[in-house]
Chain A
Amino acid sequence: MIVSFNNVRKYYGSWPALEKVDLRLEEGEFVVISGPSGAGKTTLFRHVWMGDLPTTGTVEVVGFSSDGIRSGDLPLLRRKLGIVFQDFRLLPERTVFENVALPLQVTGTPPKAVRRRVFELLADMELSHRRNSFPNELSGGEQQRVAIARAMVAHPVLLLADEPTGNLDPEVSRKVIDLLVGINRAGTAVMLATHDPRQVPAGAARFVYLDGGRIVDPSYWDGYDQL
């Protein structure tokens, strides 16, 4: 088990963003988290990479527990995760190569090994020709692929993708989802948050529905009306 939420509650002031969340994720699994806007998907993800800590309950991720995690452990936890956001969050003043190389450079990987790994990954993602471009010179789909490359470069155990297709048109979105499915087939666990679970092929993933901060039974979920 690489992720485990045990009766997690999260309050922002008196506002409940997560209520009694229990969730487990096995190594190599693909979990899709769906739910309407404000359901708590981003909040749930922030708890996985421990950008937030639960108000009550515990979160355990790749051997680190939210109970008594020290700030010195946070980098060690995050090196085992790859994180992708809806708005890409690439550093605008760096080239594609530099953006993708960052997670390796912060751990002191020798430059030769960094080049080898980044070139290999950019080739896999059909971005080799773009390696010296800056993010603002790329299309949205290309930027998101660069962000995914950055998330995957250090061989994470778990890839977290919070609405990675939110800013992309349907055609490009499908390519990004296919990429995530491929990454999962190659052995990496994936957590994907999306408004629209129909993007993901039914057999490829386990589906979890959030509403008002609670995990709900999908058969009662009427969120499709809101899509």
Chain B
Amino acid sequence: MIHILQNALREGMLNIRSKLPTFLVTVLMVSLSFMVFDIFLLVSWNLEYALRSEQENVGIEVFLENRVDEAEALRLADLISGMEGVRSVYYVSPREAEAVFRADMPEQADMLELLGPGFHLPASIQVSLLLEYRTAEKVGTIARTISGMEGVADVMYGEEYLPGLTRAVSVLEKLVFLAGLVLAISLSLVVANTVRLAVAHRALTLEIMSIVGAPAWFIRLPFVGEGMVTGIAGSAGSLILTWAVSSMLSSTVPHRFLPGNWILLILALGAFSGAAGSWIGMRSGFRRPRR
């Protein structure tokens, strides 16, 4: 059993070695087809990432009335942190607010001198929300509840851009999924057909194998294996090419490369479509006896 398995694997290597130029051309064609897919994923991944980090900043700023002292503010912060959807709260004292202001906008610091020592920036509570609560609707609800609380002067959150952002993220997610699916299917067909053509030249090998009494799996395994290797090598090649393009562009268009699980997905798709192509190509070479 061990020997027959070893031999089946050796068959696969022999197939690849004997047709190395064909194999390399096939791998290159698969790589170029997959590059379209990779670049599509790269662009949508970066878009989504940008939108997500925009969403990351979504929070609520609660400005307190001047008469609220620190002890009361902390009590209020405690209350808010107990609310549904709130991840954390942070109390910003008037002094800290001033320090932040001076650090962030040094040119405008004179304004504070102008207003005189009696003026204080209002104390505030920064509320950060759990991810699933960062939609226009849910932020609005939480903000309204907080604005009704004793000692709260004003509540601010991204009222204008938040609904658009929420919509953009969900539209993009659907779009990526749909386009990705269509691309993946058409890509599988292209790769399958490329591999099928490469395998069609092996009709003699198929015939001889079957005539010398090789079991069907022994005949198929090397072909499917060869298809998988072609698919994986092709998709890996496409990733290398895409990575090269990506790092060439990274200084002009800052972006990130695809995350690990997307890379695995691309390799798996390559393996699958290559194996499928071999299977289809082989079936046309297999002639079952007919009556």
Contact = CB atoms under 8 A, between A and B. Distances in A.
Interface of A: 49-55, 71-72, 74-79, 83, 89, 91, 93-94, 98, 102-103, 105-111, 150, 154
24 contacts: A51-B289, A52-B289, A53-B290, A55-B291, A71-B288, A74-B213, A78-B212, A83-B211, A89-B211, A91-B204, A91-B208, A94-B18, A98-B14, A102-B208, A102-B209, A103-B212, A103-B213, A105-B7, A106-B209, A106-B212, A108-B1, A108-B2, A110-B3, A154-B212
B88 interface: no
A85 B2 CA distance: 32
B205 A91 contact: yes
Nearest to A109: B3
Nearest to B4: A108
Interface residues of B, number: 27
Nearest to B5: A108
| Most A Cβ at <10 Å: residue of B18, B205, B211 | B211
Contacts of B5: 108
A106 B4 contact: yes
B215 interface: yes
A96 to B, nearest CB: 14
Contact of B3 (A72, A78, A108): A108
B3 A106 contact: no
Contacts of B288: 71
Contacts of B257: none
Given A106-B7, A108-B1, A108-B3, A89 B204 contact: yes
Given A50-B289, A71-B288, A106 B213 contact: yes
B291 A75 contact: no
B4 A54 contact: no
Closest 6 CB pairs of A and B: A108-B4, A93-B18, A106-B214, A79-B213, A78-B213, A103-B212
B225 to A, nearest CB: 16
Interface of B: 1-5, 7, 14, 18-19, 204-205, 207-216, 218, 287-291
A71 B204 CA distance: 19
A97 to B, nearest CB: 13
Contacts of A94: 14, 18
B18 to A, nearest CB: 3
Given A89-B208, A106-B215, A154-B212, 4 more contacts: A75-B210, A78-B210, A78-B212, A93-B14
B4 A49 contact: no
A74 B210 contact: yes
Contacts of B207: 89
A136 B287 CA distance: 27
A109 B218 CA distance: 14
A108 B7 contact: yes
A49 to B, nearest CB: 7
B285 to A, nearest CB: 14
| Most B Cβ at <10 Å: residue of A49, A77, A108, A150 | A108
A151 to B, nearest CB: 9
Contacts of B204: 89, 91
Contacts of A72: 215-216
A91 B209 CA distance: 10
B208 A107 contact: no
Contacts of A106: 4, 7, 209, 212-215, 218
Contact of A53 (B211, B214, B291): B291
A109 B216 CA distance: 17
| Most A Cβ at <10 Å: residue of B205, B214, B289, B291 | B289
Contacts of B212: 78-79, 102-103, 106, 150, 154
A71 B5 CA distance: 21
A217 B212 CA distance: 34
Contacts of B289: 50-53, 74
Contacts of B14: 93-94, 98
Nearest to B288: A71
A54 B291 contact: yes
| Most A Cβ at <10 Å: residue of B3, B208, B212, B288 | B212
A79 B213 CA distance: 5
A141 to B, nearest CB: 20
B15 to A, nearest CB: 9
Given A105-B7, A106-B4, A78 B211 contact: yes
Nearest to A49: B211
Contacts of A154: 212-213
A19 to B, nearest CB: 16
| Most A Cβ at <10 Å: residue of B18, B218, B291 | B291
B3 A75 contact: no
Contacts of B7: 105-106, 108
Contacts of A78: 210-213
